[in-house]
Amino acid sequence: MSKSTNSNSFSRYIRFSRAEWAHLRASTAMPLSEQDLEQLHGINEQVSLTEVDEIYLPLSRLLNLYVDATRNLYLASSAFLGHLAEKVPYVIGIAGSVAVGKSTTARIIQALLTRWPGHPRVDLVTTDGFLLPNDVLSERGLMERKGFPESYDVRRLIRFLADVKSGRKEVKAPVYSHLTYDIVPGEWTVVRQPDIMIVEGLNVLQTGQSLSQSGAPRLFVSDFFDFTIYVDAEEHLIKQWYVERFHKLRQTAFRQPESFFRRYSTLTEEEASETASRIWDTINGPNLRANILPTRARAHLILTKGEHHSVQSTSLKKL
């Protein structure tokens, strides 16, 4: 089978067309039904079984091979050291813009990986839970920069990942409500040594200065990942999807009494489009260009979408 290649012969990636990537599914059976997919897709995207068959099944096969290889390396290391260390989850990081569909990607991957033999426990954690509470953001003047790197409790997120990767039997992550637009007090996502953990968020691939002010080496969220995926699309498409999602939320979640965005539920169609476009142009777009998109080249795999959230090509980093 031929693979598409970039004109730059020094590219760090092997690029596959949709048809080439679909071929790598091999004999992997489809474990999901239409009913299963209904529970997995986002509010503004309808993922078809064809999309799962051609894009996500090959990806799940690749990940399964990587997980097995890592497990064998772990056993070899334990044999060399003469003792069996604590069970450590294989951690997959998924990054991408607001509204690009990374949450749906994460849920589909989770559903597929749980059906492979040998790793039935696959947990999914979003970094939304590590956003600073609204009262802290307000105090620091950061409410209009929610989703930017400075709006997260990065130290807490790194501590969480370090605990998971050290093999602790139980680790808690805060829970975020998209309805109230804030951290939910007293609620936790509990991770108990899963076989695989997926971490999904805007800035999970971001780095910075490698040394702290004291001169000590700094840890980054991505240091704890075994495999990383970036969900990509042209910005004009992502903005379009964001505006469309805003309209659907205006007719659904925004109307609930406890919704933080209840004030938007009474907007006209034109006002809603103008409001969503302004939010994109002043917050989400700048965050994408300054903080999220520059991390794309750090991912092991890039899923590039076209119209209707359909993945058109896949780029896999060379080993």
Cα→Cα distances 133→34, 113, 139, 176, 181, Å? 37, 32, 10, 9, 9
Q: What angle do CA 140, 160, 186 make, to 5 degrees?
A: 65
In this prediction, residue 214 carries a pLDDT of 58
In this prediction, residue 50 carries a pLDDT of 94
In this prediction, residue 83 carries a pLDDT of 80
In this prediction, residue 290 carries a pLDDT of 96
Q: How many CB atoms lie within 10 A of CB 67?
A: 22
- Options 3.90.800.10, 1.20.120.850, 3.30.565.10, 3.40.50.300; CATH for 88-311 is 3.40.50.300
In this prediction, residue 216 carries a pLDDT of 63
In this prediction, residue 96 carries a pLDDT of 98
- pTM given for the model: 0.93
Strand partners, 4: 15
SS (H, E, C) 67-86: HHHHHHHHHHHHHHHCCCCC
pLDDT in tens, the chain (319 residues): 445 444 445 789 999 999 999 999 988 888 988 888 888 877 777 789 999 999 999 999 999 999 999 988 888 888 888 887 677 899 999 999 999 999 999 999 999 999 988 778 999 999 999 999 999 999 999 999 999 999 999 999 999 999 999 999 999 999 999 999 999 999 999 999 999 999 999 999 998 755 455 556 789 999 999 999 999 999 999 999 999 999 999 999 999 999 999 999 999 999 999 999 999 999 999 999 999 999 999 999 999 999 989 999 999 999 8
Q: Which long-range contacts (CB under 8 A, 24 or more apart) does 76-85 make?
A: 85/167
> Greatest CA separation found in the chain?
68
Pairing assessment for the beta strands 90-96 and 13-17 based on DSSP bridges: unpaired
Alpha helices in the chain (DSSP H): 18-23, 34-38, 49-51, 57-81, 102-113, 134-139, 154-165, 235-251, 269-279, 285-287
Task: Give dist(CA 279, CA 239) in Å, integer.
Answer: 10
